[in-house]
Amino acid sequence: MPSASLVFQSIVLGVLLGGLYALLAAGLTLYFGVMRVVMIAHSAFLILAAYLAWYAHRETGIDPLLTLLVTVPLFFAAGVAMQRLLLTRLRPATLTMMSVLLTFSIALVIEGLLGYAFSGTQRRIRLGYSSASLEFFGARIAVVKLIAFGMAAAALLGLYLLMKHSRFGQALRATIQHREAAALLGIDTDRIAGYGFGLGLATAAVGGTALALDTTIYPSLHWHWIGPLMAIIVVGGLGSVPGAAIAAMALGMTQSLLQLELSTTWAQTVFYVALFATLAVRPQGFFGGRLAQRF
């Protein structure tokens, strides 16, 4: 039986991890909301951002956080371009399936190029504060994990405020809920969908930089992220941002607690167990509305 402080530490770590999951799952939910697309390449872009942060740090010694200034706009633009140039050209009838394949192929290309450019070697950023940690009611929490969580939380909050209080956010939500109706109200839904895609990819930029701070990265790492993230959005209900956030927190915490008793790999199976259980019991997910039922 692990001690109380160990359990507490696991809970804190679970929350910190859940924050990152929540941000990334929000991105996946955005793509699904605006385009009904399951974006397999999301986590490949995540790893790409992590590599860019690592590379910039290795070459110039700048703080990885500064790369955000470049990667966030870059990824936003890439997301818009991807939606406008690739996804809108697919036949609407087979969009869901074909977009999966298209984003899958993008993931393969990114993984392959990363492997080619940086080899399959495991990489890790060493920072002055890499080993620093805080005592927190008996729990030892690495500073970098707190920073990563802070970034995720700030990005999520920004996303929330944008969605709730800006004119663009209103248009985006209208597009997600009912595209035809939004178009009738004079919203340029194609443009909005493009921006929604860009926002989703921007979450991968933030997440990737956060990830690079305290994780060892390698080109095929994205497969270890896409599985859990997709499980999260299904459990939360496809298309529901709050659902994704709650599921991310719950599953992140469970994973963290399971690691006390099980190995890391076995603890990861919690996502898949949750995925299958959800589909068997409540296929529309636990927070999904009408949207989720048809997909």
Partner 1 sequence: MAAVVAVALSFPSMAPSPYELTVGIAIVNYAVLSTSWNFVGGFTGYISLGHGAFAGLGAYTTALLVTKADLPSFAALFVSAALVAVLAVPVGYAALRVRGASFVIVSIALVLIMLLVFQSWSSFTGGSRGLVVPRPFPGMLRSEHHEVFYFLFLALLAVALLTWWIIDRSRFGMGLKAIREDEDKAQSLGTPTYTYKLVVFVVSATFTALAGGLYGLWFGDLDPVFQFSILSGAYMVLMALLGGVRHLYGPLLGAVIVGYGLEYSKLEYGDTPLHLVFAGLLLGVVVMFMPDGVIPAATGLIARVFKTGETSIREVTAAELREERGQGGAEPAPGSPGQKREVKQ
Partner 2 sequence: MSAKENEQGQGQEEGKEHGLATVGLTKAFGGVTALDDATVSFRHGRVNALIGPNGSGKTTFFNCVTGMIRPDAGRTTYRGRDITAKPPHRIARAGIGRSFQLCRVFPRMTVLDNLLVAVRPPNLLAQLAGARKREETERARYWLTRMGIEHLERAEARNLSWGQQKLLELAGVLMSEPELILLDEPAGGVNPALIDRICDLVRELNAEGRTFLIVEHNMDLVMSLSDHIVVFDRGRPIAEGPPSVIQSDERVLGAYLGV
Residues that bind partner 1 (CB under 8 A): 32, 36, 38, 40, 86, 89-91, 94, 96-98, 100-102, 104-109, 111-116, 120, 219, 223-224, 226-227, 230-231, 234, 238, 263, 265-266, 268-269, 271-272, 275-276, 279-280, 283-284, 292-295
User: Which distant-in-sequence residues (6+ apart) come within 8 Å of 211 by Cβ?
Assistant: 20, 46, 47, 49, 50, 148, 217
- Which listed option, partner 1, partner 2, none, makes contact with residue 121 (CB within 5 to 8 Å by class)? none
Question: How many other CB atoms are there within 10 angstroms of residue 129's CB atom?
Answer: 12
Among partner 2, partner 1, none, partner that 167 touches (CB below 5 to 8 angstroms by kind): none
C-beta closer to partner 1: residue 169 or 227: 227
Closer by beta carbon to partner 1, 152 or else 274: 274
Phi-psi region of 263 (alpha: psi -120 to 50; beta: other; left: phi over 0): beta
Residue 59 C-beta: closest distance to partner 2, Å: 51
Site for partner 2 in 84-103 (CB under 8 A): 93
The smaller minimum CB distance to partner 1, of residues 45 and 149, is found at 45
Q: Which of partner 2, partner 1, none sits in contact with 290, Cβ below 5 to 8 A by type?
A: partner 2
CB of 290 to partner 2, least distance (A): 5
Q: Which is nearer to partner 2, 164 or 224 (CB)?
A: 164
Instruction: Supply angle C-alpha 21, 22, 24, rounded to 5.
Output: 65
Q: How far is the CB of 293 from partner 2 (least distance, A)?
A: 8
CB of 3 to partner 1, least distance (A): 26
Residue 158 in the binding site for partner 2 (CB under 8 A) = no
Q: Can residue 289 be called a binding residue for partner 2 (CB under 8 A)?
A: yes
Total residues at interface with partner 2 (CB under 8 A): 3
Q: For residues 15 and 100, which CB has a smaller minimum distance to partner 1 in the complex?
A: 100
Q: Which does 283 bind (CB under 5 to 8 A by kind): partner 2, partner 1, none?
A: partner 1
CB of 197 to partner 2, least distance (A): 25
Q: 149 or 225: whose CB is closer to partner 1?
A: 225
Mapping DSSP onto H, E and C, the string for the chain reads CCCHHHHHHHHHHHHHHHHHHHHHHHHHHHHHHHHCCCCCCHHHHHHHHHHHHHHHHHHHCCCHHHHHHHHHHHHHHHHHHHHHHHHHHCCHHHHHHHHHHHHHHHHHHHHHHHHHHHCCCCECCCCCCCCCEEEECCEEEEHHHHHHHHHHHHHHHHHHHHHHHCHHHHHHHHHHHCHHHHHHCCCCHHHHHHHHHHHHHHHHHHHHHHHHHHCCECHHHHHHHHHHHHHHHHHHCCCCHHHHHHHHHHHHHHHHHHHHHCCHHHHHHHHHHHHHHHHHHCCCCCCCCHHHHCC
Among 89, 126, 167, 290, contact with partner 2 (rule: CB under 8 A): 290
What is the binding site for partner 2 (CB under 8 A)?
93, 289-290
